Structure 1
């Protein structure tokens, strides 16, 4: 609590606090320490409230980054979800508007959907509405830690009807058998063939590689712990790749891909600031024309000269043969 207070105080006032009281001193009189800290927290909260009230609320905006900005009173992506939740709870009309506007709302990969958003759709839309809410996904395929994970509680409360998808039109028979073995939700899938597909078309094999590490590090663990975990994981992947050179690796996050392809530092720079990292990297590269340069170099390397010539001509340039008389080109406004 003291650390959170210290950070907020510096953000709001620029004041630095003294080092936090050590455990030995704290244990001598914890009640006094907590009481004094709460008094200071109340003072800071009042300053924050006064600052917010001094700013025109019409200027509050979404800033499209990962961080709230107190000085300009703009909020980040995670806070957008929080604000949406508060608005729907306070103003019942919003739920009615959604209900009147949409007959169906279908949410894909529900297991990675923020819990507050799930709550909006299940609890803020009028009970007598005609809007059908559909959640599609698999609770065992969650990628992100901040998703709802599963909706078993909502199913138990009769807010959702569970429809299990037993037919598997994608995997081979051995993969399906393996998946059924490790699932813990009771679902057992069966091989289902597409039109004109035979059992032979869906044959495959399964190999399980594993490495024992211990407890997986969380966001609160040190950088060293995270690096040790990734090092163990990458060694196992390298071993699998050596044994199976034809195997394609599926990476679930862009961060994993950046580590694999060697631009993890660049990715981290954008990840520390923006929510939509991939889009922000692309926008920046387009702004400094790096993507165009890459496209030109790649086209030239692959002997796609028509692409190169078309790009150059569009920019007002032409390539002449050696010894040919240069031709003038009208300047173009860019």
Structure 2
């Protein structure tokens, strides 16, 4: 099949080494620092295999597998390769499920022999025999898993829904974690499955290898452990591992080659110098137009207050003062109200407070929330939020901008009342425009003073939106008149979530909407991996973030704050590296510390930042 014409990209030394490995049928590992053009090297590698071996692979009905971490990555790589069906480009979970789903007996045996017994052992160890909540919960789970173990043989078929994070073994429903655990076990121990995968995919390439699960790396290495085909190539960077279950220091099968990619096409020399001082396993060199760019690196040390609230947290008054100090630093460096600056915070609550959707954030991460509801809140896909983020808020903004054409377009795409094939299809365009204007005016009036439930009811009654059965059930349900109890109502807490949401006013939703659509200068530090911006502010405040898995003060200033745990230091170091390496031209790091002057001296002595790059904010 034909592929789109792209400009010629000269292969780097690393790319030539990769090609040598492919021609010698040797597996390899590529360590590619930030900005090194890892995806370009991956795409060049995929293209090289197609060019040299594609015809033979097509004749044999074989494919080139490329596993990447996100659906976005799948789309980017597929597009750059012309959507060629020679490639199986997939997310990790989708790829693994496609390989194991036909092995129902093996899946059931894995659950019965490995997964469920492991969980039973874990819960039995938690049961102290006392009448504490944790012990009671453990006993309940032991009973649950013993029941599953007794009945699991009756399950004939298993299924996996990528939108669900829950499992129900007796219904044959597997979760995301199950797919990983079962796949790792089956591929490592089932010779037939190894042979099937190896014959189907003589070439396998793993993108973002540092975030790939350790058991999967080991399993795929088993498939490719012999010299020759199948061959596996890993592309990634241990310093950019931001998910705890990832492999981190990944490696190919025993005897495979390690290739280091030294180029940095993203950052200016000043930022690259910081990155080279920060890590020692790769020394990067400016390798594009960025080599000519004059940039800057700054570290602002801000006096942190002693937390006054319980559990080592700031009080509300202290949070207000922190925000004022932060704004002052931004104004002092001349970056206030600049649209070309990205502000990176550790946790979303820090952003929600500054953008004005703190109550919404607290609701979807609080006692009524679940892993599913929090994940879908963060993506904007929660069923309670979708009518607002996809239809109602865009309509309100179109009305505010007096853009009737845009409003009509939104209504035609989403509204039963304006469906070209719906019940109003015979009405004239003039009447439909009048109906749209009337509906929009009323909707806007409600938006200014009513609750979210009242806005939804109007939109539903006037067929401006269609609602899912679940949301209709929530709207029509009588108000809950009993107090929520975690022990009693845990499985029903979504009802309390919905009712609390309905009672809110509309003021916070537009701010949330613009944040999830990346229309603000703010982002979480985890959320910018793979991104790049001309100007970056990285904000490190351990107390406001209130997430003890990370400690920027102990990582950057251990003499002042004491040594962090190995886990803290590893996670924090990697996340800081991700933040630093997003900056193309100018990087400003803001660190809140109890002892700015002592921290300055320690950082200078460590050689990480130069003395003229550091300022102490009084």
Same fold (TM over 0.5): yes
> What is the distance in 1 between the residues matched to 2:178 and 2:436?
60
Corresponding residue for residue 4 of structure 1: 123
Alignment partner of 2:398: what SS? helix
Corresponding residue for residue 268 of structure 1: 365
> What is the distance in 2 between the residues matched to 1:21 and 1:308?
53
Alignment partner of 1:150: what SS? coil
> What is the distance in 1 between the residues matched to 2:232 and 2:240?
21
Q: Is the 8 A contact 2:214 2:246 kept in 1?
A: yes
Pairing of 1:1-334 with structure 2 (within 5 A): 4-5=123-124, 18-19=131-132, 47-53=147-153, 55-59=154-158, 61-62=160-161, 64-69=163-168, 72=171, 74-125=173-224, 127-151=226-250, 154=251, 158-185=254-281, 187-194=282-289, 199=292, 202-209=293-300, 224=311, 240-244=329-333, 245=336, 246=338, 247-250=341-344, 261=355, 262=357, 263-268=360-365, 272-273=371-372, 277=376, 281-282=380-381, 284=383, 288=387, 290-312=389-411, 314-315=418-419, 316=424, 317-319=432-434
> What is the distance in 1 between the residues matched to 2:348 and 2:266?
24
Matched positions, count: 281
> What is the distance in 1 between the residues matched to 2:168 and 2:377?
22
**Residue-by-residue CA offset, 1:274-333 (whole Å, 9 max, x unaligned):** 6953687426257646511112112222333211133445434332799xxxxxxxx9xx
- Structure 1 residue runs of 5 or longer lacking an equivalent are 9-15, 23-39, 214-222, 323-330
Q: 1:206, CA displacement in angstroms?
A: 0.3
Alignment partner of 1:318: what SS? helix
Structure 1 or 2: more strand by fraction = 2
**Cα distance change, pair 265–104 in 1 and its aligned pair in 2 (3 A):** farther
- Structure 2 residue runs of 5 or longer lacking an equivalent are 1-119, 305-309, 413-417, 425-431, 438-462, 467-618
Alignment partner of 1:133: what SS? strand
Q: Is the 8 A contact 1:168 1:191 kept in 2?
A: yes
Alignment partner of 1:163: what SS? strand
Give the root-mean-square deviation of aligned CA atoms.
Answer: 4.6
Q: Is the 8 A contact 2:148 2:169 kept in 1?
A: no
**Cα distance change, pair 207–264 in 1 and its aligned pair in 2 (3 A):** same
**Cα distance change, pair 291–117 in 1 and its aligned pair in 2 (3 A):** same
Determine which structure has greater relative contact order: mean sequence separation of CA pairs < 8 Å that are 6+ residues apart, divided by chain length. 2
> What is the distance in 1 between the residues matched to 2:393 and 2:436?
25
Q: 1:96, CA displacement in angstroms?
A: 2.5
Q: 1:100, CA displacement in angstroms?
A: 2.5
**Cα distance change, pair 264–254 in 1 and its aligned pair in 2 (3 A):** same
> What is the distance in 2 between the residues matched to 1:91 and 1:173?
50
> What is the distance in 2 between the residues matched to 1:108 and 1:308?
41
Q: Is the 8 A contact 2:408 2:436 kept in 1?
A: no
Q: Could you tell which deviates more after superposition, 311-320 or 137-146? A: 311-320
**Cα distance change, pair 275–50 in 1 and its aligned pair in 2 (3 A):** farther
> What is the distance in 2 between the residues matched to 1:146 and 1:226?
28
**Cα distance change, pair 198–3 in 1 and its aligned pair in 2 (3 A):** closer
Q: Is the 8 A contact 1:299 1:308 kept in 2?
A: yes
**Residue-by-residue CA offset, 1:200-238 (whole Å, 9 max, x unaligned):** xx211001245799xxxxxxxxx945889xx79x76865
Q: Is the 8 A contact 1:99 1:126 kept in 2?
A: no
**Residue-by-residue CA offset, 1:170-224 (whole Å, 9 max, x unaligned):** 1001000011011142x11111124xx771xx211001245799xxxxxxxxx94
**Cα distance change, pair 239–140 in 1 and its aligned pair in 2 (3 A):** farther
Corresponding residue for residue 33 of structure 1: none
**Cα distance change, pair 93–320 in 1 and its aligned pair in 2 (3 A):** closer
> What is the distance in 2 between the residues matched to 1:279 and 1:58?
32
Q: Is the 8 A contact 1:64 1:275 kept in 2?
A: no
In the superposition, the TM-score normalised over structure 1's length comes to 0.64
Q: Is the 8 A contact 1:112 1:144 kept in 2?
A: yes
